[in-house]
Amino acid sequence: MIGRLGVSQSMQGKNLGTDVLDFIKAWLVDPMNKTGCRFVLVDSYNQEKNFKFYEHNGFKFLFSSEEQEREFRDLKPDRPLNTRLMYFDLIELMFLTILTYRHNYPFQVTNCG
């Protein structure tokens, strides 16, 4: 889970946040990584610009509505929802990584018996 990802205002617009997310995703799907992670979860500030950033990077809302998320978090209707949970499913990257790995390092397993 990524709790807070931020880029200094003076450095925004230079794809640094996207580069960090791409690095995290690539590291998690690397065949040598043994974490067994399927999803990347972020707790985004409840602001449209943040949602657009994460959506641009392939993230989706965990809950289809703020009401659902508020209920899950056991928040009363009058309390603000300061953050929204979003996720990225690594499964597609995992398949691409496996195919790329097999293409770059072709080998056959033979019966040694």
Are the C-beta atoms of 81 and 68 separated by less than 8 Å? no
Tally of domains within the chain: 1
**Burial group, residue 94, by CB count within 10 angstroms (0-12, 13-18, 19+):** middle
Residue 40 domain boundaries: 9-104
Let me know if residue 76 belongs to a domain: yes
CATH number for 82: 3.40.630
The answer for residues whose C-beta is within 8 angstroms of residue 1's C-beta and 6 or more apart is 40, 41, 42, 43
Kind of pairing between the strands at 83-89 and 60-61: antiparallel
Query: Which residues lie across from 24 on neighbouring strands?
Result: none
Are the C-beta atoms of 57 and 93 separated by less than 8 Å? no
pLDDT along the chain (113 residues), means of 10: 83 91 89 82 94 96 95 91 95 72 56 51
Let me know if residue 16 belongs to a domain: yes
Let me know if residue 90 belongs to a domain: yes
Let me know if residue 77 belongs to a domain: yes
What pLDDT does residue 97 have?
Answer: 62
